[in-house]
């Protein structure tokens, strides 16, 4: 072995000894510096919460409904007979009184028909009077002729009169009896003929009145569809008349809402920013088969209102008497279920509840919590079952 190789081995032994010595020294230092005790577990501070003591309450829920303003009355007026328009006396936007004339048809033929009907009635009245008088005269003639026939029969029995004279008397009696029968029939049917003539006269008068279209109620002319010279029929609308003195709010409501509404009930309405008060005048009891909603009409004073606008109203729902009511912020919803946190001796209990109706920021609890329970009312999503809490301000 050379001297150079011997020196290399000696150096490696020296460095190995140094590394081992340093490792032993570090191990000794760790043993002496290690803590004798395990670290103490720090206690978690209780979370501060806001709470509410549950009591039984009466809840008067309401629902907001939007409706549209409509005229209280709307009429599409038509003539009841055909004819040519002669006069147009109104224009759209014009206010009219009940019974005011609006449109007129040409009525010359109708006036002539009226004259004819009046004349026929007058003739029937005169004919009935004539037949009555002639019947009286015929009765007297027949009585005289009967006495004459009786006299001739007596003479014939004594052979004092010829057979031909008796036959002539009898023939005369038969003629008088026939005339009396005709007059009697005419007198008996006189009342029917008079009624027929009077009915024809009344019908002619009605047709003459129908040639004039009048306002069925006081209102405002909305549209006029015909001009003078136009030929109109009962199938065509001549004009539309609306009543704007009163305005109806029309809306559709659900069955539970309709069940607690009554005719004549006062309702607060908001048209834009203007509050109004109306009265329920119509409520459909049978719902619409397609929407299952009930038509509702509320009448308000039309002063300053225009048809077509929207109106908001609050309608009452079924009163909830003696129920447990909680803020909606106190309800935790998970997987379709509802929970509240009840505080007992500073510890939270997460309890499943059955929720009832919700109105504004309140919810009715049907089961799972009762009067006397103290619950957390906000920030429930950050809480857990069994957590310690510090009630900040019981209410």
Written in H, E and C, the secondary structure of the chain is CCHHHHHHHHHHHHHHHHHHHHHHHHHHHHHHHCCCCCCCCCCCCCEEECEEECCEEEECCEEEEEEEEEEEEEEEECCCCCEEEEEECCCCCCEECCCCEEEEECCHHHHHHHHHHHHHHHHHHHHHHHHHHHHHHHHHHHHHHHHHHHHHHHHHHCCCCCHHHHHHHHHHHHHHHHHHHHHHHHHHCHHHHHHHHHHHHHHHHHHHHHCEEECCCCEEEEEECCCCCCEECCCCCCEEEEEEEEEEEEEEECHHHHHCCCCCCEEEEEECCEEEEEEEEEECCCCCCCCCCEEEEEEEECCCCCCCCEEEEEEECCCEEEEEEEEHHHCEEECCEEEEEEEECCEEEEEEEEEEEEECCEEEEEECCCCCCEEECCCHHHCCCCCEEEECCCC
Q: What pLDDT score does 39 carry?
A: 46
Domain 51-58+320-391 has CATH 2.40.420.20: yes
Residue 2 predicted with pLDDT over 90: no
pTM given for the model: 0.57
pLDDT at 3 over 70: no
- Please give the Cα distance from 147 to 84 (Å, whole number): 68
**Confidence (pLDDT) at 272:** 85
Q: What are phi and psi of 331, to 5 degrees?
A: -100, 125
191 confidence band (pLDDT: 50, 70, 90): confident
Of 138, 132, 134, 170, the residue nearest 151 (C-alpha): 170
CA–CA gap between residue 86 and residue 266 (Å, rounded): 47
Q: Phi and psi of 220, rounded to 5°? A: -125, 135
Q: Are 207 and 234 in contact (CB under 8 A)?
A: no
Tens digits of residue pLDDT in 329-380: 999 999 999 999 999 999 999 999 999 888 889 999 999 999 999 999 999 9
Work out the average pLDDT over 317-324. 89
CA-to-CA distance for 360 and 64, rounded, in angstroms? 11
Q: Was domain 242-316 assigned CATH 2.60.120.1440?
A: no
- Say how far apart CA 351 and CA 394 lie, in whole Å: 19
In CATH, what class is 109-208?
A: mainly alpha
Rounded mean pLDDT of 45-50?
85
Q: Which of 19-23, 166-170, 171-175 has the lowest mean pLDDT?
A: 19-23
All structural domains of the chain with their residue ranges: 51-58+320-391, 109-208, 242-316
Model confidence at 5: pLDDT above 90: no
Residue 296 · residue 313 · CB < 8 Å:
no
Q: Which residues face 353 on adjacent strands?
A: 338
């Amino acid at each position: 072995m050379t001297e150079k190789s011997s020196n290399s081995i000696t150096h490696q032994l020296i460095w190995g000894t140094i590394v081992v010595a340093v490792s032993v020294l570090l191990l000794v230092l760790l043993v002496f510096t290690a803590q004798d005790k395990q670290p103490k577990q720090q206690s978690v501070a209780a979370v501060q919460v806001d709470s509410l003591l549950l009591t039984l309450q009466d809840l008067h829920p309401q629902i907001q409904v939007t409706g549209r303003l409509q005229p209280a009355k709307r009429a599409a007026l038509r003539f009841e007979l055909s004819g040519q328009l002669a006069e147009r006396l109104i224009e759209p936007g014009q206010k009219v009184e009940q019974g005011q004339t609006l449109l007129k048809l040409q009525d010359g033929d109708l006036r002539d028909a009226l004259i004819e009907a009046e004349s026929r009635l007058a003739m029937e009245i005169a004919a009935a009077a004539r037949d009555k008088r002639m019947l009286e005269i015929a009765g007297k003639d027949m009585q005289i002729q009967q006495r004459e026939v009786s006299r001739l029969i007596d003479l014939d029995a004594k052979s004092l009169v010829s057979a031909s004279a008796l036959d002539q008397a009898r023939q005369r009696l038969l003629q008088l009896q026939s005339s009396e029968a005709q007059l009697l029939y005419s007198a008996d049917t006189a009342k029917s003929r008079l009624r027929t003539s009077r009915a024809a006269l009344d019908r002619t008068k009605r047709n003459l009145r129908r040639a004039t279209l009048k306002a069925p109620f006081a209102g405002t002319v909305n549209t006029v569809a015909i001009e003078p010279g136009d030929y109109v029929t009962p199938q065509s609308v001549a004009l539309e008349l609306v009543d704007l003195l009163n305005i109806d709010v029309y809306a559709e409501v659900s069955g539970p809402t309709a069940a607690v509404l009554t005719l004549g009930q006062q309702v607060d309405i908001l048209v834009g920013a203007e509050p109004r008060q109306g009265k329920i005048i119509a409520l459909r009891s049978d719902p619409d088969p397609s929407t299952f909603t009930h038509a509702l009409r509320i009448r308000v004073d039309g002063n300053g209102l225009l048809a077509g606008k929207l109106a908001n109203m609050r309608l009452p729902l079924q009163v909830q008497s003696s129920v447990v009511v909680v803020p909606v912020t106190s309800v935790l919803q998970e997987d379709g279920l509802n929970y509240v946190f009840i505080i007992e001796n500073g510890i939270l209990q997460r309890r499943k509840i059955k929720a009832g109706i919700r109105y504004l920021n309140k919810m009715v609890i049907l089961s799972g919590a009762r009067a006397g329970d103290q619950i957390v009312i906000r920030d429930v999503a950050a809480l857990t079952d069994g957590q310690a809490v510090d009630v900040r301000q019981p209410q």
